[in-house]
Amino acid sequence: MLEEADFTERKAFLRSFIKRIEVNKKQVTVHYNLPIPQGMPSSEQVGVLPIETLGGEGGTRTPTPCGT
């Protein structure tokens, strides 16, 4: 759906479940509610794995291997 939608439709779709976005220096936290299909229990809570990036400012690899 998002690939075929225009910018306004994409924005409306994301706003339908994203409650807020918090930015604190290098950390971003997205608070959201996923839509639950009819007939599914709404009280069950499932954890989501954190997304963490590894490496420093230059990435995860050495910019100039072997010092060259």
Give pLDDT tens digits for 14-67. Answer: 888 889 999 998 899 989 887 767 776 655 566 666 666 666 666 666 666 665
Quote the tokens at residue 33: 């509610």
The pTM of this model reads 0.41
Q: What is the DSSP letter of 21?
A: E
pLDDT of residue 41: 63
Give the whole-angstrom CA distance, residue 29 versus residue 65: 34
pLDDT at 23: 93
20 vs 32: CA distance, rounded Å: 7
Is pLDDT above 60 for 68?
A: no
- Res 22: pLDDT: 93
Q: Given this model, what pLDDT does residue 25 score?
A: 86
Helix, coil or strand: residue 8: helix
d(Cα 68, Cα 66) in Å, to the nearest integer?
A: 6
